[in-house]
């Protein structure tokens, strides 16, 4: 009636009724107690060695107290402990920065590794689908070192063999919620190893005042704000082209005016020429006197100005041909920066078809041939769709400020940028919190960097106009 079962499993059948499922009693293999004791002892020893190796200072303190208690009794140990606590508290009060760098963040990393990540590692990864349960055994990515900075936790992870990075980038929301963070960013550090960044706070939540105008003329990367890690944000404009995309009120003007502000000293000595296209008549018009005759507002004027820039570029390329392949700013051949406030108005929303094609061809010529001869384009737009800006891929460096849709993030920064943590669609619409905040993707690095540009007010712009005459010459 029944097919013969292997071994003695047939006697373990609970029911053979046709309408009842067949239930087996699982086979139990008794493991000798000595094996269990050896395995547990080995795991404890390995864990102790790993803890001492990773946290030598934290491991030395209890050992020193224990030895002192054993040799000199508990009053001496208590005195030693009080002395150490007093010394650390004094250090933290006198020099908080060095204390945090050498002691504070290390202790915080140990605490969060023990209490947050190691304690919740298995359930979070199993629920999020990053672990595997095969034949009754859990296979989990290995939790590595935890490093704390002033604003985030950086967790190193060794992935399972054969596991793609996309599995992690698709589950950043699961990881952030599981470990109690606002967001999670995934960075591939080396083959098989990831770094997960969990922010604890937002260092870019406060607006930044306008930075001081540089004393020395510079054309190199100009400082225009602050990065999330606290370092200055320096944007390269010479030798590249930059596209800035953001919704209304996202802070595109902060980036444009911060760049102009940083280049004014170089413009005053003739190393930089600033050309402005302002079809909206609302942004660059505040500092129109800084550009002199190199300012255009109507579509016809913008087309003529672009044609003039193209002519300058082509003449320079003819002189450089066979002599040099890169540009060094000089008074005779200054760096030319073309600033376009709302480029989509000229390339997509222009009703005159011939004028639209003329402008698009000029911009395409500049972005494909200009940077080698010292001509750069800084363009800003609100809608990054391909039908609105069909030459967006000709800009090597891109900045995504607050965007309306999640799909627009990848349109600006490239495929997969949002999965790697560039949540430009989640930037706060409140100007005090989100204006000027964005993500940068440079030509040399696909990883997005979170930044905030300094806010250049109308008063700052008027002060710049008062200090510099047309063409950037010092007043």
Termini Cα distance of the chain: 106
* Annotated binding-site residue? 253: yes
416 annotated ligand binder? no
Residue 106 phi, psi (nearest 5): -70, -45
Q: What is residue 420's three-state secondary structure? A: coil
252 known ligand binder: yes
362 known ligand binder: no
Strand partners of residue 101:
none
Q: What length is written for the chain?
A: 475
What is the torsional sign of CA 279, 380, 255, 310? negative
Tell me how far CA of residue 162 lies from CA of 156, 166, 167, 175, 191, in angstroms.
18, 12, 11, 20, 11
**299-320 vs 353-369: helix axis angle to the nearest 10?**
30
- DSSP-assigned letter for residue 331: S
Written as six digits, the tokens of 71 are: 């040799």
By the 8 A CB rule, do 262 and 218 touch? yes
Give the position of tokens 């990075």.
165
Is 248 annotated as ligand-binding? yes
| Residue 247 assigned ligand-binding role | yes
What torsion, rounded to 10 degrees, do the Cα atoms 219, 413, 367, 298 define? -90
- Please report the sign of the dihedral spanned by the C-alpha atoms of residue 64, residue 67, residue 72, residue 73: positive
Residue numbers belonging to the annotated binding site? 246-253
Residue numbers belonging to the annotated binding site for ATP? 246-253
């Amino acid at each position: 009636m029944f097919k013969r079962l292997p071994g003695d499993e047939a006697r373990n059948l609970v029911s053979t009724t046709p309408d009842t499922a067949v239930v087996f009693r699982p086979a139990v293999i008794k493991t000798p107690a000595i094996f269990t004791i050896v395995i547990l002892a080995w795991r404890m020893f390995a864990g102790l060695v790993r803890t001492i190796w990773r946290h030598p200072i934290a491991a030395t303190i209890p050992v020193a107290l224990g030895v002192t208690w054993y040799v000199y009794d508990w009053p001496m140990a208590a005195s030693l402990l009080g002395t150490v606590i007093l010394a650390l508290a004094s250090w933290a009060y006198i020099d908080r920065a060095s204390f945090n760098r050498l002691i504070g963040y290390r202790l915080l990393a140990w605490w969060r590794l023990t209490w947050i990540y190691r304690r919740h590692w298995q359930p979070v990864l199993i629920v999020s689908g990053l672990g595997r349960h095969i034949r009754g055994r859990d296979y989990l990515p290995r939790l590595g070192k935890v490093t704390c900075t002033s604003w985030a936790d950086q967790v190193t992870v060794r992935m399972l063999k054969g596991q793609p990075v996309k599995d992690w980038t698709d589950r950043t929301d699961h990881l952030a919620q599981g470990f109690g963070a606002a967001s999670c960013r995934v960075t591939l550090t080396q083959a098989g190893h990831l770094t997960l960044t969990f922010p604890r706070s937002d260092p870019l939540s406060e607006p930044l005042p306008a930075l001081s105008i540089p004393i020395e003329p510079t054309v190199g990367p100009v400082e225009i704000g602050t990065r999330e890690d606290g370092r200055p944000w320096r944007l390269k404009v010479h030798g590249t082209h930059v596209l800035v995309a953001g919704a209304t009120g996202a802070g595109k003007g902060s980036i444009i005016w911060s760049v102009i502000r940083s280049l004014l000293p170089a413009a005053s000595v003739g190393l930089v020429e600033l050309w402005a296209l302002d079809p909206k008549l609302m942004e660059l018009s505040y500092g129109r006197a800084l550009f002199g005759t190199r300012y255009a507002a109507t579509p016809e004027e913008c087309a003529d100005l672009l044609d003039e820039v193209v002519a300058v570029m082509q003449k320079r390329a003819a002189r450089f041909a066979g002599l040099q392949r890169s540009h060094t700013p000089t008074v005779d051949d200054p760096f030319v920066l073309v600033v376009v406030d709302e480029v989509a108005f000229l390339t997509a929303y222009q009703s005159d078809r011939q004028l639209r094609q003329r402008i698009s061809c000029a911009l395409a010529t500049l972005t494909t041939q200009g940077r080698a001869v010292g001509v750069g384009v800084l363009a800003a737009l609100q809608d990054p769709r391909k039908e609105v800006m069909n030459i967006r891929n000709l800009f090597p460096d891109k900045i995504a400020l607050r965007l309306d849709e999640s799909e627009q993030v990848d349109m600006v920064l490239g495929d997969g940028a949002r999965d790697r943590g560039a949540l430009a669609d989640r930037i706060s619409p409140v100007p005090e919190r989100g204006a000027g905040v964005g993500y940068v993707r440079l030509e040399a690095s696909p990883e997005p960097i979170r930044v905030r540009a300094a806010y250049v007010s109308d008063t700052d712009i008027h002060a710049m106009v008062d200090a510099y005459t047309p063409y950037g010459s010092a007043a």
